[in-house]
A and B are shown apart, each in its own frame.
Chain A
């Protein structure tokens, strides 16, 4: 296993090296290239990698899950096809899944950064990535049903800015598929039907209930982002934002860390398995955060991500090139 991890890391190094070595050979054109054009190019590269390659941490977790299923079972069959699909998509630079999802950007920038022009560049990159087939024409007007074919429209792509105290701009991207979004959920505690009260035991109950309700419909094995508390809107958003955490990290909050492990272990006892075929791996991971609430409400939001967990991030250098991959 460690060896595999090492080779994966080496592979990634080669990948990032490739990007870096590309720059000098293109030195002259790069200098002439308009910085805006360079940014668009960089963002298209980010979209392409996000859509076609699962991040290392997800791949490692999937590989481990695969070994846990009984050889010859339908669960192991599903995991093998998933694995083949991951390899093939990377090889062909084609989307892992044809549903390339809601396009969600998280931008972390230094003080004094201009958000509006950057937004415009993101939109241009999204259109270009759609033309190149890294994104499916996936954005539909909710009133007219019209699909402009560009992935642009009211609220699309979804863009969130944060100021940080580093000098560089970091861009993270999540592509969130529709099937798994449809099994995501929000509970309001207390839930008398489930006997779930306003405490961590109640929180645990509703999360496990959501996983049972989801069965295989979210293209499991899935990964969860959870938020305890907040108002309905913040709660749902913060739950989704937990999907930015690496699957193998640890929650710094000891009680939440315990709950995260407990949820994964418990849900894997339900026997739902990959695709809902029955089997050992129902959940790959669970990441939990919390937010204050008003005394009258207690929401628990659950964001379910399918096995085709598409998340990537980059640090941009002064020339708007990719300096480093974040996952």
Chain B
């Protein structure tokens, strides 16, 4: 089990390899379809994303009526491949060093990870409760106009469990498993 702690850096994530089980402690920014499209369209992010991690997640959130404080009640990853057309640009232009999601991403993202020093972390799909428990505080909310699940949420997490499935050295577990299972498929058919 490895640990990755805030502040993050391209150097730190380059140490990580495909298959590493990692506990992340520090800041995460959620961002899914609307945010990626927004950045792709040339808009500047409302918060500096340099050396930050983006989490493909549309959390379920609740606001305390008295204190006005937000809590996250469910926070599993959403399918990442939808951001494939945009992700490489976001990595290049805003210097993010990590992407968390599920299902893996394609060649463009893998190339950008290698070039700029970024990794793709796979969270456990469907584990909404376990992952929500790791969120210690909600520190910011940006682009609220996209709707709450689509907005950018600034979160502090502790020991957030993920697996590196695409590293900064051009390796992808998704590619490997797809290939090895294809070989196995030929044998069983």
Taking the closest CB of chain B, its distance from the CB of A55, in whole angstroms, is: 15
Q: For the complex, give the distance between the alpha carbons of A53 and B180 in Å.
A: 34
Q: Which of A85, A209, A212 contacts B128 (CB 8 A)?
A: A85
Residues of B within 8 A of A215 (CB): 103, 174, 177-178, 181
Q: Which of A74, A95, A209, A271 contacts B180 (CB 8 A)?
A: A271
Please give me the residue from chain A that is nearest to B184 by CB atom: A270
Taking the closest CB of chain A, its distance from the CB of B120, in whole angstroms, is: 13
- Asked whether A216 is an interface residue with its Cβ less than 8 Å from the other chain, the reply is yes
Whether A98 lies near B174 (C-beta < 8 A) is no
Q: Which of B44-52, B71-79, B137-145 binds A?
A: B71-79
- Asked whether A139 is an interface residue with its Cβ less than 8 Å from the other chain, the reply is no
Taking the closest CB of chain B, its distance from the CB of A291, in whole angstroms, is: 25
Whether B188 lies near A270 (C-beta < 8 A) is yes
Residues of A within 8 A of B161 (CB): 77, 81
Residues of A within 8 A of B189 (CB): 194-195, 205, 208
- Asked whether A225 is an interface residue with its Cβ less than 8 Å from the other chain, the reply is no
Q: Which of B21, B73, B180 contacts A94 (CB 8 A)?
A: B73
B-facing mask of A75-93, CB < 8 A → 1, else 0?
Answer: 0011001101100110010
Whether A96 lies near B129 (C-beta < 8 A) is yes
Q: Which of A84, A136, A208, A307 contacts B185 (CB 8 A)?
A: A208
Taking the closest CB of chain A, its distance from the CB of B144, in whole angstroms, is: 16
Q: Which of B59, B124, B182 contacts A81 (CB 8 A)?
A: B124
Q: For the complex, give the distance between the alpha carbons of A199 and B32 in Å.
A: 43
Tell me the A157-198 residues at the B interface (CB within 8 Å).
Answer: 177, 179, 182, 194-195
- Asked whether A273 is an interface residue with its Cβ less than 8 Å from the other chain, the reply is yes
Most buried by A among B74, B102, B104, B173: B74
Most buried by B among A74, A92, A96, A208: A74
Tell me the B79-109 residues at the A interface (CB within 8 Å).
Answer: 79, 81, 102-104
Q: Which of A95, A216, A273 contacts B103 (CB 8 A)?
A: A216
Taking the closest CB of chain B, its distance from the CB of A214, in whole angstroms, is: 10
Whether A81 lies near B79 (C-beta < 8 A) is no
Taking the closest CB of chain A, its distance from the CB of B147, in whole angstroms, is: 8
A-facing mask of B155-189, CB < 8 A → 1, else 0?
Answer: 00000010101000000011011101110110111
Q: For the complex, give the distance between the alpha carbons of A85 and B79 in Å.
A: 19
Q: For the complex, give the distance between the alpha carbons of A32 and B75 in Å.
A: 41
Name the prevailing secondary structure of the A interface residues. loop
Q: For the complex, give the distance between the alpha carbons of A236 and B124 in Å.
A: 28
| Given A81-B124, A275-B124; A212-B130 close (CB under 8 Å) | no
Residues of B within 8 A of A272 (CB): 177, 181
- Asked whether A106 is an interface residue with its Cβ less than 8 Å from the other chain, the reply is no
Please give me the residue from chain A that is nearest to B177 by CB atom: A278
Whether A98 lies near B103 (C-beta < 8 A) is no
Residues of A within 8 A of B130 (CB): 81, 84-85, 88
Whether A88 lies near B177 (C-beta < 8 A) is no
- Asked whether A293 is an interface residue with its Cβ less than 8 Å from the other chain, the reply is no
| Given A81-B130, A216-B103; A98-B180 close (CB under 8 Å) | no
Q: For the complex, give the distance between the alpha carbons of A149 and B112 in Å.
A: 38
Whether A275 lies near B128 (C-beta < 8 A) is no
B-facing mask of A96-113, CB < 8 A → 1, else 0?
Answer: 111100000000000000
Whether A266 lies near B181 (C-beta < 8 A) is no
Q: For the complex, give the distance between the alpha carbons of A194 and B188 in Å.
A: 13
Please give me the residue from chain A that is nearest to B187 by CB atom: A269
Q: For the complex, give the distance between the alpha carbons of A271 and B181 in Å.
A: 6
- Asked whether A133 is an interface residue with its Cβ less than 8 Å from the other chain, the reply is yes
Residues of B within 8 A of A95 (CB): 60, 74, 128-129
Contact residues of A with B, CB < 8 Å?
74, 77-78, 81-82, 84-85, 88-89, 92, 94-99, 133, 136, 177, 179, 182, 194-195, 205, 208-209, 212, 215-217, 219, 266, 269-273, 275-278, 306-308
Q: Known pairs A97-B126, A270-B185; list 11 more (Cβ under 8 Å).
A: A77-B21, A81-B127, A82-B124, A89-B128, A97-B74, A97-B76, A97-B125, A136-B60, A208-B188, A219-B126, A278-B177
A-B contact pairs, 7 of them (CB 8 A): A88-B129, A88-B130, A88-B133, A94-B73, A275-B163, A276-B173, A277-B122
